[in-house]
Amino acid sequence: MRKLGISLVAAAAALALGTGAAKAADDVIKVATAGPITGEYASFGEQMKRGAQMAVDDINAKGGLMGKKLSLEVGDDACDPKQARAVAEDLASKGVVFVAGHFCSSSSIPASEVYAEQNMLQITPASTNPAFTEGAAEKGIKTVFRTCGRDDAQGKVAGAYIVDKYKGKNVAIIHDKSTYGKGIADETKKAINAAGVTEKMYEAINQGDKDFSALITKMKAENIDVIYAGLYHPEAALLIRQAREQGLKAQLIGEDADVTNEFWSISGPAGEGVLMTFGPDPRNMAEAKDVVAEFKKQNYDPEGYTLYTYAAFQVWAQAVMKAKTTDAAKLAAIMHGQTFSTVVGDRTFDEKGDITNPAYVFYIWHDGKYAEVAK
């Protein structure tokens, strides 16, 4: 009897504990951000994590949503497609209803299939390849969105600049074979070709390459004047550093993957004058003033995709407040065609989940810092 009594007490305690845990779970809404928390692109994962945490803290400080506080999960995909799918499945198993992610397009695309199957809303703050939303639309997936622009818009801006500023010059287009890198390089190539310009070189490297001597030698032999690099910042920074060391003075033009202070930490002074395309700097927008100030109090510069991640949470939260539900399908039904106020400006989504007002401008690296090029 004594043993039975103890067993009954233990069972009752376990039941109470379980009930308490369930009640605690019912009192929160699980959300997440997912990206390269580790690996060579971890600086972008840090941007996303910072933006997500600040957004969650701010929403919770205002009472949460529907009487519940938000609980943030962080998924690390290291920009690996297989790992991204595993992360998505893990977040789904934890009951996450919304994900701000991923960073790399090659991760966002496979992860989106899991989120769609589990009726989880996905808003990427950084994946710019058109295939993310185009592919989803072809599959009938309506729960994917992005707060950033697309590479076809970004490529047109870069292409127009090359055609205008480098008439009669020799152009090299380099990419890293990734969904993102090749995608943006091909969009830029398409833009200059449409304007009657043919590149002198079109070459591919591998992600993680460290030695570009052979490529630079070839570019020198071809008298290349401008290099368009569809590369992530580690390879782009190494390329320009080695190019300068080997006497190649060609102008390097990059893209939004170079929007991190780590670019200069790798390139050093060789990065001086490097150009890149990105959206208008949200740190300078009136809508972001208070949030930027809070980040500054934490001694953190909300560069790159920090505020785009914060904006993804703003969009989702506004949709939840309007629909009074976290059900992804129901949220998506009211999000297409609607305008949301965010720290990166108003965001209106078309039927595919793309923003209708993408804007890209040029930035330039100078003395270890980057800033928008004055018009």
Q: What is the pLDDT of residue 24?
A: 42
In the chain, the domains with their CATH numbers are 10-149+284-348 (3.40.50.2300), 152-278 (3.40.50.2300)
Query: What's the pLDDT tens digit per position in 234-282?
Result: 999 999 999 999 999 999 999 999 999 999 999 999 999 999 999 999 9
Q: How confident is the model at residue 374 (pLDDT cuts 50, 70, 90)?
A: confident
Q: How confident is the model at residue 25 (pLDDT cuts 50, 70, 90)?
A: low
DSSP annotation of 65: B
Q: Indicate whether 112 pLDDT > 50.
A: yes
Q: Indicate whether 283 pLDDT > 70.
A: yes
> Other CB atoms closer than 10 Å to residue 57's CB: what's the count?
13
- pLDDT, mean of residues 144-153: 97
Q: Encode burial over 158-194: b for 16+ CB neighbours within 10 A, e otherwise.
A: bbebbbeebeeebbbbbbbebbbbbbbbbbbbebbee
At residue 83's C-alpha, the angle toward residues 75 and 31, to 5°, is 25
Q: Indicate whether 9 pLDDT > 50.
A: no
Sequence letter at residue 223: N
- pLDDT, mean of residues 281-304: 96
Both tokens of 284, joined, read: 């300078």
Residue in this structure with the two tokens 């989106």, named with its chain if needed: 112
Query: What's the pLDDT tens digit per position in 203-231?
Result: 999 999 999 999 999 999 999 999 999 99
Q: How confident is the model at residue 26 (pLDDT cuts 50, 70, 90)?
A: confident
Q: At 7, is the secondary structure helix, strand, or coil?
A: helix
For the ranges 18-27, 45-54, 305-314, the lowest mean pLDDT is seen at 18-27
Both tokens of 336, joined, read: 């297409």
Phi then psi dihedrals of residue 336, to 5 deg:
-65, 125
Q: What is the mean pLDDT of the chain?
A: 93
Contact criterion met (CB below 8 Å) for 308 and 288: no
DSSP string of 309-350, one letter each residue? HHHHHHHHHHHHHHHT---HHHHHHHHBT-EE--TT--EEB-
Query: What's the pLDDT tens digit per position in 329-349?
Result: 999 999 999 999 999 999 999
Contact criterion met (CB below 8 Å) for 176 and 212: no
**Which residue has better confidence, 11 or 104?**
104
Query: What's the pLDDT tens digit per position in 68-89?
Result: 999 999 999 999 999 999 999 9
What ranges in the chain are assigned the alpha helix state H? Answer: 2-26, 42-61, 81-93, 105-117, 131-138, 151-165, 179-194, 213-221, 233-245, 262-267, 289-297, 306-323, 328-335
Contact criterion met (CB below 8 Å) for 199 and 171: yes
Residue 348 pairs with which residues in a beta bridge? Answer: 339
Cβ-Cβ contacts under 8 Å for 141 (sequence gap 6 or more): 112, 113, 116
- pLDDT, mean of residues 91-114: 98
Q: What is the pLDDT of residue 13?
A: 43
- pLDDT, mean of residues 345-372: 96
Q: What is the pLDDT of residue 44?
A: 96
Contact criterion met (CB below 8 Å) for 73 and 95: no
